[in-house]
Amino acid sequence: MLSRTAENLYWIARYMERAETTARFLEVGGRIALLPSAGGAGNMSEWNSLLRASGTEAGFAHKYGDPVQRNVESYFFFDRDNPSSVASCITAARENARIVRTALTTQMWDALNTAFHELRDWDRMERSELDMAQLTDWTLRHTAMLRGAIEATHLRNDGYDFLNLGYFLERADSTARLLDVKYYVLLPQIDYVGSGLDNYQWSTLLRALSAHRAFHWAYGGDVTAAKIAHFLILNQQCPRSLLTSVTAATTHLERLARGYGASGKAQARVRALLGELAELSVEDVFDEGLHEFLTRFIRDVAAVGAEVQGTYLIGDMR
């Protein structure tokens, strides 16, 4: 397969997963804003921390200044200046798809193309008529549609592996970032840890990951920081956990290595990361510090991404 084709496939998946993450960010922010703030007056606002966690804080501040909800919503959903906005991601995914149109199945192209055209309809509507929950649902529906089309129709060839690498590396990164929001949700005092307020925020996070009910089935009882961290980092059953994502990325890299008859740095890196996660306990994570652990993890995932890029997508492999 042409390296550039592999690259286009990889980025279609990354962009669609990113669109989904951005929509989930929006949902977390929206729900947190429904809570009374701890300090007394008004409600809570975590838009700042969301912007920071999504890595778009500087761009937003430059354009809008203070994070007012309506502006953040626009920025996260529609703004083409924000490379991670839902609109930017879907447009970029569709552009990548157009380039490799013939490497996609009709259903995959339909899923992307439909999303793109409907997005243009949203664009033409009055912002005041738009309901954020509707936009979030819409995004999740379309990302799921593409995902389903891939599973149902794409050949299980190397292209399938590159698509999945895109999905799972992006997902590992985004779950880590969503989780990191919790770190940024600065509690006024240490007493709040484990309090009702704290738990409400954790639950919001779970809802945003569409994992609220799954969590309760898996763990039961109270929501605690340790349970949630375990669920999102180490639980093999959670489809968005770090371990699940890294396991899947490893599987697809190993499939590639078998198919091509050559294993390289990308495989070595991802195996090392998987090995570490597999040995890890929640206590280890909290000992290291959740934020510190996540920061390191995000860097490690980026390093795997860089090896994939260097080995397969640039085409300099000899």
Partner 1 sequence: MTDAFFNEMFQSGRVRPPYAQLEGWTERMPASLRSLKQAEAEALFRRIGITFAVYGEGGDPDRLIPFDMFPRVFAHDEWRKLERGIKQRARALNAFLVDVYGRGEIVRAGRIPSRLVYLNEAYEKAAAGFVPPRGVYSHVVGIDLVRTGPDEFFVLEDNCRTPSGVSYMLENREIMMRMFPDLFRGNRIEPVDRYPQALRRTLASVAPQKCDRDPTIVILTPGHFNSAYYEHSFLADLMGVELVEGQDLFVEGEFVWMRTTRGPKRVDVIYRRLDDAFIDPLCFRPDSLLGVPGLMDVYRSGGVSIASAPGAGVADDKAIYCYVPEMIRFYLGEEPILKNVPTWQCANPDDLGHVLDNIADLVVKEVHGSGGYGMLVGPKSTKAQIAAFADKLRANPGNYIAQPTLALSTCPSFVDEGIAPRHVDLRPYCLVGERVELVPGGLTRVALTEGSLVVNSSQGGGVKDTWVLAE
In the stretch 3-32, what mask flags binding to partner 1 with x, by CB under 8 A? xxxx--------------------------
Q: Give the range of 11-19, 108-116, 142-150, 283-291 binding partner 1 by CB under 8 A.
A: 108-116
Residues 273-312 that bind partner 1 (CB under 8 A): 312
Between 158-184 and 196-208, two packed helices, what is the crossing angle to 10 degrees? 160
Choose between 13 and 72: whose C-beta lies nearer to partner 1. Answer: 13
Q: Counting contacts by CB under 8 A, is residue 107 touching partner 1?
A: no
In the complex, the smallest distance separating the C-beta of residue 307 from partner 1, rounded to whole angstroms, is: 13
Range 5-31 burial, b when 16+ CB lie within 10 A, else e: bbbbbbbbbbbbbbbbbbbbbbbbbbb
Nearest to 19 by CA among 74, 67, 71, 91: 91
Residue with tokens 């379309």: 142
Q: Give the range of 26-34, 36-44, 109-117, 214-222 binding partner 1 by CB under 8 A.
A: 109-117
Size, binding site for partner 1 by CB under 8 A: 27
In the complex, the smallest distance separating the C-beta of residue 95 from partner 1, rounded to whole angstroms, is: 8
Q: Read off the tokens for 15.
A: 């962009």
Rule CB under 8 A: choose which of 34, 268, 272, 317 binds partner 1: 317
Residues 146-205 that bind partner 1 (CB under 8 A): 158, 162
Choose between 277 and 308: whose C-beta lies nearer to partner 1. Answer: 308
**Rounded Cα–Cα distance for residues 93 and 83 (Å):** 12
Choose between 4 and 141: whose C-beta lies nearer to partner 1. Answer: 4
First to last CA, the chain: 15
Rounded to the nearest 5°, which phi and psi values hold at 43? -105, 170
Q: Counting contacts by CB under 8 A, is residue 316 touching partner 1?
A: yes
Rounded to the nearest 5°, which phi and psi values hold at 36? -70, 145
Choose between 95 and 276: whose C-beta lies nearer to partner 1. Answer: 95
Q: Read off the tokens for 154.
A: 């794409």
Cβ-Cβ contacts under 8 Å for 273 (sequence gap 6 or more): 246, 300, 301, 304
CA distances to 46, 84, 282, 313 from 289, in Å = 21, 27, 10, 35
Q: Give the range of 44-52, 96-104, 127-135, 246-254 binding partner 1 by CB under 8 A.
A: 96-104
Choose between 103 and 176: whose C-beta lies nearer to partner 1. Answer: 103
3-class SS of residue 36: strand
Rule CB under 8 A: choose which of 63, 101, 216, 291 binds partner 1: 101
Q: Are 203 and 212 in contact (CB under 8 A)?
A: yes
Binding site for partner 1 (CB under 8 A): 1-6, 95, 98-102, 106, 109-110, 113, 158, 162, 256, 260, 312-318
